[in-house]
Structures are given as C-alpha cells and as structure tokens.
Structure 1
Amino acid sequence: MFDADARLSWVLAGLAGLIGAAAFTHTAGYFVTFMTGNTERAVLGYFHDESDMAAAALGLIAAFVAGVVVASWCRRRYWARHPHGPTLLTTVCLAVAAGTDLLLYGANPNDIDFVPILFVAFGVGALNTSFLANDEVSVPLSYVTGTLVKLGQGIERHASGGDFADWLGYFLLYASFVLGALAGGLLSLLVAGWAMLIAATVVCLIVTGYTYLHLDRHGPLAE
C-alpha cells in the first residue's frame, strides 16, 4: 500500500488538485479535472444563455481526451521503459500554458485566459494515464468521484470482515487531492494565475525528474 508508486500517486493527486485550483480560481470557472461537470455544463449551458461556457466546456473535454490519447500512444511507442512518462508531457503542457498566458496576456492580469487552460486540460488528461494495469488506468488521479466510490466500497469490505487496507489507500489518494486543492486555493490568494502555473510546472518537473532518474531505473522495470 505504501510502496513507491503509492507515494507517487499521492504526490500526483495533490498536483492535480493544485492544477485544478489554479484553473478554477484564476479563470471564469473552468474545470480541468472535473469532466463530469464540463459535460453537464456543455449540455445545460444552452438552457441558461451560457453558450460561451458550454462551448468552452466542450473544448476542455476535447483537450482532456486528446491528452489521454497522446499520452497513451507515447507510453506504448516511446515510454516502455518509463511507465511514468506522462508526467513529462504534463510538465511540458504546464510550461506551455504559462508561457502562452504571459505571451498573450502579459504578467499583470491575475486571470488565466481560455487558451492556456486548454493546454492545462491536455496535461491533466495525460497525467491520468500515469498508472496502468493491463492497459487500463488503475489509479484515477483527478477522477475524485471514482475514488470516493472505491473508498465507500472499501469501507463496506472492512465492515464486513476486511481490514483498513481495503479503504485507506483510496482515502489517502482523496486526501492528497484535497490538500493539493487547498494549497492551490491558498496560493491563489498570494500570486497571479501565471505564477501558479509556473509553480505547478516546477513541482511537476521535480516529480518528472524523480520518476526518470530513480523510480523507473530502480523500480520493477529496471534491468
């Protein structure tokens, strides 16, 4: 339960929460981790004269799915020896988002515009492919609904004769996401949106370096 991959999943879940907070607090309320909300907004926005937000939600969904597709393809073709390669793609996307925001809108505005957020959504989609089992995602980093469902099932198994290990891992994953969102919310009170993107880029770069230089070389795939 507490091996290197588990610890890395907590860090990445926290990173996803931080990224989501940056996108939500410094934009018009865009979701980069909540595709259920984007789907409902894409459908229901037209019923409340919010066609712009509905269209934006569709764009975010498309960017998120594209991130999943590209990261999955890269894993199959180029990252066979680096199962955590998606963190590299996420780092690049966050850096591009920060650079695009600075280039197009300057360093003064506090808000992040829609174009950089598309790159962020792409990066979050890629990040969610970090943990696979039989070519399927085994740890949903930003899919909090799924984590809570698994947490509830684990609690029931514990109550029916299991042990705390049935739910503790999911609780820690959920708590990591919450702490990341909390850190992002607090950070949003202190810095501009582009600075939050840079902070998230730095954190993701550090994690990427750790996975490439240590985890992937000394983990189960090491020669």
Structure 2
Amino acid sequence: MPKPEEIRRKALFDSEARLSWVLAALAGLIGAAAFMHTAGYFVTFMTGNTERAILGHFHGEPDLAVPAALLLLAFLTGVVFASWCRRHFWSGHPHGPVLLTTASLAVAAAVDLLLYLGATTPTIDFVPILFVAFGVGALNTSFVKNGEVSVPLSYVTGTLVKMGQGIERHLAGGDYADWLGYFLLYAAFSLGALLGGLLSLLVSGWAMLVTATGVCLVVTCYTYLHLDRHGPPAR
C-alpha cells in the first residue's frame, strides 16, 4: 500500500494538477487583461476590491469605490451561479464551471468589441469587465472536494500562506510535497500574468479577451471530452 507521502508526490503532477496550472495561468492572464487595459480594475483580487469599495469614499475616489463594489458582486454571483449549476446540471462534469467562464469571456469580448468598434483607444470598457469578473468567480469553483473549493485558482494570498506553512513542515522533517504543489500553482498564475502583460503590448483590449476566450475554450473541450469522461486519476 502506497505511503501518504508517495500519494502526495504522485498527485503533484497528475492530470488534475496540470489542469489547475493551466486554469491558474488563465486566471493570471485574464487579470492582466483587465488591469492593463482598464483604469486598473481587479477581477482576481477581491481583497483589493473590498478595500477600494470601502476606502474609496474616504480617499475622495467614489468613482473607484462603486466599480469595485460592483466587481465584488459580479465575482460573488459567478461563484454562486457556478455552484448552483454544478449541483443541478454538472454532476457528471466536475470541471463544468470552465464552460461558464468561456461563455462569460466570449460575451465580454463581444460587448467590448461592439462598444469600441472603430475607436482608437484600445481599452476595455467597465461593462465587459463585469462579465470577466463573473467568469473568474465561476472559474474558482472548478475544483471542489466535499462541497468546498479545494484549489482556489486566483486566491494568491491563500496559496502563499499554504506554501509558507508547507515549507515550514518540510524544514521540520516533512516532505517537499507539502509545499511544491502550492509553488507550482503560484508560478502558473504568475506566468499567466506575465504572458498577459506581454500580450497587452501587442494587441488591443478586446483582442486579449478573445485570446483568453480561445484558451478557455480549448481547456473546456479537454475537460468535457477527456478528463471528465475518464475521471480524475486515483489517489
């Protein structure tokens, strides 16, 4: 019978882990698209949006406080709706929320293209960003275990905390598997943000949304046609 540490090591690089890296990178790229081509809106950083929504009024910036509150609402709505769909429609597709994220990004790209058709400023309007935040909220429900999110794809703060705790356990006589998985997830998110930043130098705002939609569509096809059909690897 495999030892617990052997099971954890094997799980570090299985298909579920690889998918989490891809989705974390996608979250980073989406966040970069929203931040680089808007007035600095966050679609992955709800801590920042919460502080903006509250402190913007004290700082004399209600024009940032209200959008931040709306982004929080859109993100939360995405989580709730994706969870509801998982309960009622996606019992056989545990990664169904990726489909919802793809649809949200497609709508955001289409709306932004219509709003800025013929415009010279390659920015993303706030209305499409609400759809993006909804999609990111849904994306974060892609990995659920015992009814709770097991891999928070865009919650970088929590990932770093868990990685730090894992490093301490490793130094205290534990195993590298205690922290490596969190590091790889963080690295994937950072790589996605880097790619999004580089891409923002080459294409307009709506084109970045189209790119993210394309990547998400490929991942959706993979999860529906392969991963969800064959099931996650045994652990």
Q: TM-score, normalised by structure 1?
A: 0.98
Correspondence for 2:124 among 101, 107, 112: 112
- Which residue is equivalent to 1:213? 225
Structure-2 separation of matches of 1:64 and 1:195: 22
Percent identical residues: 77
Structure 1 residue 105: Cα displacement: 2.2
In the alignment, is the contact (CA less than 8 A) between 2:16 and 2:232 conserved in 1? no
Structure-1 separation of matches of 2:124 and 2:100: 20
Q: Name stretches of at least 5 consecutive residues in structure 1 with no aligned partner.
A: none
Q: TM-score, normalised by structure 2?
A: 0.93
After the TM superposition, list the runs of 4 or more consecutive aligned residues in structure 1 that deviate by more than 4 angstroms.
none
Go from structure 1 to structure 2 and tell me whether the alpha carbon gap of 1:160 and 1:28 turns closer, same or farther (over 3 Å shift). Answer: same
One-letter amino acid matched to 1:131: F
Structure 1 residue 208: Cα displacement: 0.1
Structure-2 separation of matches of 1:220 and 1:179: 25
- Which residue is equivalent to 1:86? 97
- Which residue is equivalent to 1:32? 43
Structure 1 residue 48: Cα displacement: 1.6
In the alignment, is the contact (CA less than 8 A) between 2:124 and 2:206 conserved in 1? yes
CA RMSD, 1 decimal: 1.0
From the CA coordinates, give the structure whose radius of gyration is larger.
2
Structure 1 residue 220: Cα displacement: 4.2
- Which residue is equivalent to 2:27? 16
1:55 lines up with 2:74 in the alignment: no
One-letter amino acid matched to 1:167: W
What SS class does the counterpart of residue 161 from structure 1 fall into? coil
In the alignment, is the contact (CA less than 8 A) between 1:107 and 1:194 conserved in 2? no
Structure-1 separation of matches of 2:30 and 2:168: 32
What SS class does the counterpart of residue 57 from structure 2 fall into? helix
Q: Which digits, 9 at most, give the CA deviation of each residue in 1:125-152, with x for residues without a partner?
A: 0000000011100001000000000000
- Which residue is equivalent to 1:134? 146
Aligned length: 221
Structure-2 separation of matches of 1:133 and 1:83: 10
